[in-house]
């Protein structure tokens, strides 16, 4: 889950990761990480599971920010799958 947070912080350059909290979701039997993100003078949160699925987010979060977070997670996963299929690593790029 640390990697996912790093991807988001690296790929979505206009936000700053200011904190996180992990909790166990008993209903789904999974770990959820809630990231606290800052943009200017506003704070937002997004909650993500181990697979990169977004479970919850701030109602006030701009939709483009949510899309950028989603694209960061999916894009990095797909890139790693592609590189693995080619027998390469991210360091080869």
If you write DSSP's letter for every residue of the chain in order, what string do you get? -HHHHHHHHHH-TT-EEEEEEEEEETTTTEEEEEEEEEETTEEEEEEEETT--EEEE-TTS-HHHHHHHHHHHHHHHHHHHHHHHHT--GGG-
40 is a domain residue: yes
pTM confidence score: 0.82
pLDDT tens-digit series, residues 23-76 = 999 998 999 999 999 999 999 999 999 888 999 999 999 999 999 999 999 888
Q: What does the pLDDT read at residue 91?
A: 64
What φ, ψ does residue 27 adopt, rounded to 5°?
Answer: -65, -40
70 is a domain residue: yes
Residue 10: pLDDT above 80? yes
N-term to C-term CA, the chain: 23
90 is a domain residue: no
35 is a domain residue: yes
Of residues 43 and 78, more confidently modeled: 43
Residue 79: pLDDT above 60? yes
33 is a domain residue: yes
Number of domains in the chain: 1
Residue 93: pLDDT above 60? no
State the residue range of the domain holding 24. Answer: 2-85
């Amino acid at each position: 889950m640390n990697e996912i947070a790093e991807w988001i912080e690296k790929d979505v350059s206009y936000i700053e990761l200011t904190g996180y909290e992990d909790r166990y979701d008993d209903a789904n039997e999974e770990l959820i990480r809630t990231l606290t993100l800052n943009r200017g003078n506003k704070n937002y949160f997004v909650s993500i599971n181990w697979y990169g699925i977004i479970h919850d987010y701030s109602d006030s979060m701009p939709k483009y920010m949510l899309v950028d977070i989603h694209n960061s997670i999916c894009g990095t996963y797909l890139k790693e799958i592609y590189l693995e299929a080619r027998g390469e690593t991210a360091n080869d790029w």
